[in-house]
Amino acid sequence: MPQPRIVALRRAMRAERVDRFLVTCPEHVRWLSGFSGSSAWLVVGTREKVLLTDFRYRDQAAAQAPDWRAVITQNGLVACVRELAAGWGDSRVGFESAHLTVKDHRALTSPFKDGDTPLKVQWVATEQIIERELFVKDEAEIAAIARSAAIADAAFAEVLPLVKPGVTERDLAAELEYRVRKLGADRMAFPPIVASGPNAALPHAQPSDRRIRTGDMVTFDIGAQRDGYASDMTRTIAVGKASKKLQKVYGIVLEAQMRAVAAVRPGLSCVELDGVARSYIQEQGFAEAFGHSLGHGVGLRVHDGPSISWRSQETLAEGMVITIEPGIYLTGWGGVRIEDLAVVTGKGCRVLCSTPKELRIV
């Protein structure tokens, strides 16, 4: 993995006045070391880089993280850290407060059994030490996200002809998952959303056994994950025909989404960007029907920073990869959401989703 990532972490460690840092979030382990196994922690010191894992991943660790010292645990990650920490003396060790469980924290800070000598280490809870470094992507990361986005586009194009009356939401979700993998993804970035008719009023609806009907709107929210990096896209279509109400709501959401895309630029606050779409939807009389944030960052996690919302304290910067996904949701009727994935560039943004956004009737 690129050395600048370790340099950035060590710079943050100095700011936090910690001697070592324990990385327990799987995505952060991968970002720093390149190791993608399901069981691993990292210990980063001023000079040391240690990867802790178990026998199952011995060879994988050597292949994916050759410049890290691999320690193969016999009794679990917590026990291994305690063994190492016994030699650290009276030092300050930072840990990811959002990712270390209470159980593991207690195991690290308490004696394993009566008579154990307490560790001298001072454990320091930190927040967003690595997360903030993840906000801005390098060229390789952007290329990986673009590949995942292309897979999602292709999978959606293959499934679209299957949307017809009588097909269930669950059937279409299964087709999406199959085709995403068939087209080269490692997995779905998240369980796909296929929401038809009144179910489309649920922003995070789960695919059900409801059968598609003529006149339905159907919202698809899909993402692929390849080489660790995720994508995210939402499109809403009409089946057979589109009512005047659907055409009106769709037009409002599309205009709000396009205004927000056009407004993206480095230096713009996330609150301001959220307001571009939200204020337009409010002007059209649907303020209460758009209750979630406008978007979020995407990377090794599909929901990454920054948050594009009215609560955000972040500012857009070149290299961020964000979603722009306004929606209108009306209980008992349905809803419309349109979502693109975009890279913040020097003067604006580059949209990574190639699927058309105009209202399609299938």
The domain limits of the chain are: 3-134, 139-351
Quote the pLDDT of residue 3.
81
Q: What is the pLDDT of residue 110?
A: 81
- The type of residue at 44 is V
pLDDT, position 2: 62
Chunked into runs of 10 residues, the chain (362 residues) has average pLDDT values of: 86 96 97 96 96 97 97 94 92 96 91 68 93 94 98 98 98 98 97 98 97 98 97 98 98 98 98 98 98 98 95 97 98 98 97 97 97
Dist. CA 108–CA 67, nearest whole Å: 26
Please state which CATH number belongs to domain 139-351: 3.90.230.10
CA dist., res. 148 & res. 151, Å (int): 5
Architecture of domain 3-134: 3-Layer(aba) Sandwich (3.40)
DSSP lists the bridge partners of residue 356 as none
Tokens of 157: 């194009």
pLDDT for the residue 115: 63
Positions of E strands within 156-205: 187-188, 193-196
Question: Whole-model pTM above 0.95?
Answer: no
